Structure 1
């Protein structure tokens, strides 16, 4: 007989939401970032500027299948919780020869009181993927640089798969990583530097894996310093290995040390998944005024059937998460930002409870030592190691679940489709679980 203590904190919203220009609100999210209508994908340009948090996102307001040229949608918040669409909601549109095929993924930085967006543009005539910039003094209205593109060609040692610039500043110098496929068709991240965000010098590959074990193209790279180490994470296509790398498109990361003099990133051979759920991709991070490393991701996997597409909209971002390293420096951990407690309304229940349901199953298997999230018989599971107690914090919205286990050692993010909201089954295989259950009704921000 197995007895295990489970301390569960579940946050969820129950109720209706008046959708904005959509045909059905049954799966419409209530406290996650979503587009007003149409298609949303990668988070872009994460930044803090003029007293507001800014989240831009890949946006196609014309359809729910993302078939049109991409634009940058835009929301702002003073607290990382209550988001508002800017007016206009479209910050950057494809209206120049160098980006008429789409304003694709990129980043944003505060350059001496000017918010500068650095983005991928798809050229009208050549189909090349180019790096461009646009600037804003108010954080809402942007002017594209007359000298675009600032990086007019891909590296000479790479293919035309060249996209998703992420920029940061160190000791007065701007640096940029970009995803690029090598001419031998393996994934890699390349490095640039600049004094003014307009003239860029190619420094060569920051990291690559010639044996293709980390996929053929590295998208949405992020490179940053945290807790004494440098972390590189990116979206890619890794071959499945048992329970690992189960999604069609996922975020993985390396941890190591970067020397700014030699421009060498020395990292461990092993790489790891950033999230172990069904739907998590195109993650992006930024540093906020509290010196926290904050992340958003697109809750997506390319094998998922997203049922809301028939309702006139598609996709959602994760809740904001704070990144840190584990105590031994070997893993990236993610926890919900503290501000999310502002969403809490009425406490739903505060007593031991047996939770029943059949649409989502979240359980800990003592025999295998794995935490399992099962969605309509599609299983994701993670080895939790030797533990005596399992602490779970779960965010359940109209069509998503995010699980944070043992203070961010493991996270699992997944979409689901059940009208109305399903219940969650929590149980321990081959034994009995003592469950302390606390839930809050979360406010609707839209």
Structure 2
């Protein structure tokens, strides 16, 4: 029997959330580790991006929000931006107070109805007194451009339970329209504790039919874990071949490391091929999206489509079960990545930061002084790009504070290594390595925003995302060779930008 008892004390839930905000918000936003250009919570814990969309000149981002962390009460929080870089915190949009979501409003997506109403599809999480989970797929709407949000109690839950053969780890609806019909992908887990993606269809976005599990024409080379989260599919034109291909993005939990790949606790990546109904014909193996430490649950923005089907995505710069960050001393955790543009080229995703970064951090030629990039000195938010000659050996880009070498990125002919051994957060590891095709030169575009580092290598063929907590306010950057000698002569086309204070 379904327990239709709502949250026991919503008033106390709201009061606790408001108390945390009033007590800690000023401390949070004045923390030197708090990013300027990355969306971060006003207090408490942020995780997956949800309901990303664009309409009428405004970018909307929602995210999983736990204001009373470590208490697990998960809301959807709303923020807006006109440029994908400066975000205005709004309010909590979906609250975990009803019988079908009282243990958390989990991830989902946005859709704009034909009449202009904003629709938000999400997973309601419920656990009984024995911690047995139930998952419900639900709907919230806004007919006033996100001034108010209304749960559609007359139709919720849209999907009452998972199909037979799957556990209650059944979540993260991603809804889209194609040829006049509506579809949804959901992450799932088989009864045998392996991951899956399920597809549903609807004529009215209220009544949903289970079409089946996404199947593949051949097995994956590696073990794909015990749960697949946050699925999305995008139809893109390969800029090199002209072929139209489907790109299926998802986040498997429980994958084993394969050499230097899949080194994080949880993974995210994609496959390229063709989706027909529920069958996916593979052109590729599962490809990791980011070689760094913190990158998970990427979601495309709805209602943004660039040339050749380019998509703009936001991702979580964090991972579940890795909350021991220094920022919690000031009562906030995690942020989103900078929005990125994905392009399909030669069967692989190539990434770049959203183009608006070029207006905010406009790169200009700079030079070395005594072996250092002098313009960077003590900047909190900055960007550096260039070309590194690695034909005579590896070259390291080193970020220093007064305590010493905080983080460095080593470019070599067949690899790139990120090492953050000198920063204040090591719980998720010190180093990550990407094994690459041989090149005599490597290009890079490095963005540092307080405690967030993103680097795009070789035009975005490889990326690393990481949290890097500096030890003080000092910042210097230099290049060294494998003998710790000055290697500035091996760097060309050096450019720099800093956020104007």
Report the Cα distance in structure 2 between the residues aligned to 1:122 and 1:417, rounded to whole angstroms: 33
- Please point out which of 163, 188, 193 is paired with 2:171: 163
Deviation for aligned residue 1:78: 1.9
Note if contact 2:47-2:316 (Cα within 8 Å) is conserved in structure 1: yes
Note if contact 2:304-2:311 (Cα within 8 Å) is conserved in structure 1: no
- Please point out which of 306, 311, 315 is paired with 2:325: 306
Q: Aligned with 2:459: secondary structure?
A: coil
Note if contact 1:362-1:424 (Cα within 8 Å) is conserved in structure 2: no
Note if contact 1:50-1:139 (Cα within 8 Å) is conserved in structure 2: no
1:143 and 2:150 aligned:
yes
Task: Please give the residue correspondences for 1:334-353 in structure 2 after superposition, counting only pairs within 5 Å.
Answer: 334-344=351-361, 350-352=366-368
Task: Please give the residue correspondences for 1:268-417 in structure 2 after superposition, counting only pairs within 5 Å.
Answer: 268=283, 270-291=285-306, 292-301=310-319, 302-303=321-322, 305-326=324-345, 328-329=346-347, 331-344=348-361, 350-352=366-368, 354-355=371-372, 357=400, 358-366=405-413, 369-376=414-421, 378-417=430-469
1:133 and 2:139 aligned:
yes
Distance 1:264 1:196, change over 3 A: same
Deviation for aligned residue 1:422: 4.4
Deviation for aligned residue 1:70: 0.6
Deviation for aligned residue 1:131: 0.4
Q: Aligned with 1:20: secondary structure?
A: helix
Report the Cα distance in structure 1 between the residues aligned to 2:75 and 2:65, rounded to whole angstroms: 5
Distance 1:258 1:165, change over 3 A: same
Instruction: Tell me whether 313-322 or 54-63 shows the greater mean CA deviation.
Output: 54-63
Deviation for aligned residue 1:348: 8.3
TM-score relative to the length of structure 1: 0.87
Deviation for aligned residue 1:364: 0.9
Deviation for aligned residue 1:399: 0.5
Q: CA RMSD in A?
A: 2.3
Report the Cα distance in structure 1 between the residues aligned to 2:42 and 2:322, rounded to whole angstroms: 24
Residue of structure 1 in register with 2:14 after alignment: none
Task: Please give the residue correspondences for 1:196-211 in structure 2 after superposition, counting only pairs within 5 Å.
Answer: 196-207=204-215
Q: Deviations over 1:364-417 (max 9, x none)?
A: 124xx1111111072111123122321111110110100001111001000011
Distance 1:195 1:212, change over 3 A: farther
Residue of structure 1 in register with 2:76 after alignment: 72
Deviation for aligned residue 1:273: 0.5
Which has the larger share of helix?
Answer: 2
Note if contact 1:186-1:211 (Cα within 8 Å) is conserved in structure 2: no
- Please point out which of 35, 40, 45 is paired with 2:41: 35
Distance 1:194 1:424, change over 3 A: farther
Aligned residue pair count: 415
1:91 and 2:105 aligned:
no
- Structure with max Cα Rg: 2
Report the Cα distance in structure 2 between the residues aligned to 1:225 and 1:41, rounded to whole angstroms: 26
Distance 1:153 1:308, change over 3 A: same
Deviation for aligned residue 1:168: 1.0
Deviation for aligned residue 1:285: 1.0
Q: Which runs of 5+ in 1 are unaligned?
A: 1-18
Higher relative contact order (CA 8 A, sep 6+): 1
Note if contact 1:359-1:424 (Cα within 8 Å) is conserved in structure 2: no
Q: Deviations over 1:212-264 (max 9, x none)?
A: 8111100111112111111112112210111111100121211110124xx32
Q: Aligned with 2:133: secondary structure?
A: coil
- Please point out which of 31, 49, 53 is paired with 2:59: 53
1:213 and 2:223 aligned:
yes
Deviation for aligned residue 1:442: 1.9
Distance 1:289 1:250, change over 3 A: closer
Moved over 2 A (4+): 19-24, 123-127, 207-212, 286-292, 301-305, 352-357, 419-433
Which has the larger share of strand?
Answer: 1
Note if contact 2:338-2:353 (Cα within 8 Å) is conserved in structure 1: yes
Q: Aligned with 2:327: secondary structure?
A: helix
Report the Cα distance in structure 1 between the residues aligned to 2:415 and 2:480, rounded to whole angstroms: 12
